[in-house]
Amino acid sequence: MTVDFTKLAVQGVQGLRAYQPGKPIDELAREYGLNESDIVKLASNENPMGPSDKALAAIQGELSDLTRYPDGNGFELKSALTKKLKISADQITLGNGSSDILEFIVKCFVSQGDQVIVSQHAFAIYGLVTKMVGGEIVQVPAKNWGHDLPAMAAAITDKTKIIFVTNPNNPTGTWNTKSQLESFLKQVPEHVIVLLDEAYFEYVDEADYPSGIDYLSQYANLVVTRTFSKAYGLASLRVGYGVSSPELADLMNRVRPPFNVDSFALAAAVACVNDEAYVRQSKELNDEGMRQLQAGFEQLNLAWIPSVGNFICFEIPGRAMDIYQGLLEAGVIVRPVGNYEMPDHLRVSFGTQDENQTFLLKLKHLLS
Ligand SMILES: *Cc1c(COP(=O)(O)O)cnc(C)c1O
């Protein structure tokens, strides 16, 4: 008799499906016999600019300490963040990517039968980490593809433990204003945690866009997450952080694996955290990509969802998966978003000017 381990797994895990990342370049090359250098990947909101020299030098400097465990408290990175963000070190939780923080907060507060509120079209990881521990996801319908914060506040029940707010949201690129966020925070009872995911913070320059850090002194139930994966160009290293009240940070640090951020990631993040020039260049390249792709969609008569992130969703009614497949065969990887209840859209990250051009040319060819 063989054992059915799936039946033995905890109930939350039995119902899960593994997270589907963007297709890696080498996988597409293997599957379609393409050259890796001919492939354009615009599927994971990665920084197209290439790594910063500061990050490369910092990693080099760590090589001789390969046999040592990393600094489990991330002293230097926390020191740099306290100065940059005007917070104290005991407010910080370091993560192996900011995704780690999403999991920590759920582990601290959610068990079987508890509810977690998310918006429709929200980032998939929230559902994954919640269901893992037996929590129930309460999904609130989106408004114009974005978070309907009043409706999310109205969805709070006795069982609500956490509300995830993504600003701007991935995959829709929609965002909430200062006044929307402020009225929302006022409405949420003190014992319900608000996790404000600001993974794309550095790309947004709308005057009305709030920085979650500004509200921490007023709201002890607020956790703000940011990452080095996007505008800082360090996705491969996996480093991000949460900022919160010291009490929430203390709880999250209790469930954090002791060496969750490795020495290379710590050193590179320290080297890059004040690299305003790199972030500014990332942002400029991103703005150019935004203009280039919007102009391209307009020419092709395709609708898109206005975005403030480093990606955009465009609409191809009834043909999204065909076009996704056609683009793959032509060596261009974008992201299907059917699992985000957006079966008629595809999400494309902004690349270099050449990558964007290749994408638009292949797309035009498939549509004609
Ligand atoms: C990319 C992304 C993250 C950050 O992921 P890391 O784990 O920091 O690489 C978090 N939230 C959202 C919504 C994202 O799109």
Please name which of 261, 240, 256, 9 lies closest in space to residue 108, comparing C-alpha atoms. 256
> Is there a single domain that holds both residue 282 and residue 261?
no
Confidence of residue 223 (pLDDT cuts 50, 70, 90): very high
Residue located via tokens 């360090």:
234
Atom number of ligand 1 nearest to Cα 169? 13
Of 249, 274, 299, which one is at a domain's C-terminal end? 274
> Is there a single domain that holds both residue 126 and residue 235?
yes
Per-residue pLDDT averaged across 18-24, rounded? Answer: 86
Of 239, 274, 309, which one is at a domain's C-terminal end? 274
For residues 152 and 188, is the Cβ–Cβ distance under 8 A? no
| pLDDT tens-digit map of 77-129 | 999 999 999 999 999 999 999 999 999 999 999 999 999 999 999 999 999 99
Residue 4 maps to a domain: no
What integer pLDDT is reported at residue 214 of this predicted model?
98
Per-residue pLDDT averaged across 205-229, rounded? Answer: 98
Q: Higher confidence at residue 12 or residue 289?
A: 289
Residue 5 maps to a domain: no
What is the DSSP pairing of strand 335-336 with strand 332-333?
unpaired
In the predicted model, is pLDDT for residue 53 greater than 90? yes
**Distances, alpha carbon 27 to alpha carbons 22, 34, 213, 363, in Å:** 10, 10, 39, 21
How many whole angstroms from 147 Cα to the centroid of ligand 1?
17
Atom number of ligand 1 nearest to Cα 100? 7
> Is there a single domain that holds both residue 289 and residue 349?
yes
How many whole angstroms from 95 Cα to the centroid of ligand 1?
11
- Report which protein residue has its CA nearest ligand 1's atom 3: 199
Which structure tokens are listed for 263? 């020495």
In the predicted model, is pLDDT for residue 1 greater than 80? no
How many whole angstroms from 235 Cα to the centroid of ligand 1?
9
What integer pLDDT is reported at residue 241 of this predicted model?
98
Confidence of residue 18 (pLDDT cuts 50, 70, 90): confident
Residues with CB under 6 A from ligand 1: 45, 97-99, 123, 166, 170, 197, 199, 227, 229-230, 235, 240
Per-residue pLDDT averaged across 263-267, rounded? Answer: 98
Per-residue pLDDT averaged across 286-293, rounded? Answer: 98
> Is there a single domain that holds both residue 237 and residue 214?
yes
Residue 220 maps to a domain: yes
> Is there a single domain that holds both residue 151 and residue 222?
yes
- For residue 350, the Cα-to-chain-centroid distance in whole angstroms is 15
CATH number, residue 362:
3.90.1150.10
Of 236, 259, 274, which one is at a domain's C-terminal end? 274
> Is there a single domain that holds both residue 98 and residue 238?
yes
The total number of structural domains that make up the chain: 2
Please name which of 282, 278, 271 lies closest in space to residue 239, comparing C-alpha atoms. 271
Rounded Cα–Cα distance for residues 243 and 237 (Å): 20
Per the structure, the complete domain to which residue 212 belongs is given by 53-274
Neighbours of 149 (CB within 10 A): 24
Residue 14 maps to a domain: no
For ligand 1, pick from 101, 104, 170 the residue to mutate: most ligand atoms within 8 Å of CB. 170
What integer pLDDT is reported at residue 22 of this predicted model?
84
Residue located via tokens 């035009």:
364
Confidence of residue 17 (pLDDT cuts 50, 70, 90): confident
Residue 11 maps to a domain: no
Strands (E), the chain: 40-41, 92-95, 115-119, 136-140, 160-166, 193-197, 222-227, 240-243, 304-305, 311-315, 332-333, 335-336, 345-349
Query: Comparing 23-37, 65-79, 155-169, 207-221, which segment has the lowest mean pLDDT?
Result: 23-37
Backbone angle region of 26, left / alpha / beta, with phi > 0 → left and psi within -120 to 50 → alpha: alpha
- pLDDT, averaged across the chain: 97
| pLDDT tens-digit map of 292-328 | 999 999 999 999 999 999 999 999 999 999 999 999 9
How many whole angstroms from 199 Cα to the centroid of ligand 1?
5
What integer pLDDT is reported at residue 200 of this predicted model?
98
